[in-house]
Amino acid sequence: MFHKEGHNIILFALVFCISLVLIVDMNVADPVIKYSLIAVFIIALILILQFFRNPKRTFEPNTSQVLSPVDGKVVVIEEVFEKEYFNDKRIQISVFMSPLNVHVTRYPVGGKVVFSKYHKGKYLVAWHPKSSEENERTTVVVRSEEFGDVLHRQIAGAMAKRIVNYAKEGESVNQSDDSGFIKFGSRVDVFLPLDAKINVSLNQKVKGGISILASK
């Protein structure tokens, strides 16, 4: 199963790959070169399919938990001053996604979307200290019953060239529903109240909509 954001790209890649294979097959005589090139094209297609996969998962919404919005590895857990929306201190948890991770972004909590904003920006590597403030990004805040306002921020990286954000201010959303998609990698930051109980550790691998980042 593939995410809707990848349908056009997958179709183009499939047609392009088949065309290249046919061209190589008809014009390259050396079997070593021919089959090496064909293997490269097939591997590239497989990587694109891997990137846009959207595996079926069983989600169990829980209002007393904040779930990871994406698949990846926890690279930041720290107290920071969040200045775009809260203007006060929050606990930031950042999850880095490699190109091989599932790139669907999911709502970490359910509730009402009270803020949704897109920012143009740079394409610094995702682990750069200033990527959260200077890269292309979207900021979404959902007001939940247990945690109040929870902010998650999609951040583009050196490879990511397009962020898709589905969140619209005023709408009600369910925990683990699709919030967006980041094409070709990067990271997502989550900002939580200082009294939230953190349930993950640095370098821990997490799954979007499944792994518990924090609880009450």
Picking from 52, 63, 37, the residue whose alpha carbon sits closest to that of residue 145 is: 63
Instruction: Tell me 135's DSSP state.
Output: B
Provide the edge-to-edge strand list for the sheet that holds 65-67: 65-67, 212-215, 197-198
Is 36 among the catalytic positions? no
Q: What is the DSSP string of 44-99?
A: HHHHHHHHTB---------TTEEE-SSSEEEEEEEEEEETTTT-EEEEEEEEEE-T
Catalytic residue among 116, 131, 176, 186: 186
Rounded CA-CA distance 148/181 in Å is 24
Catalogue the active-site residues: 186
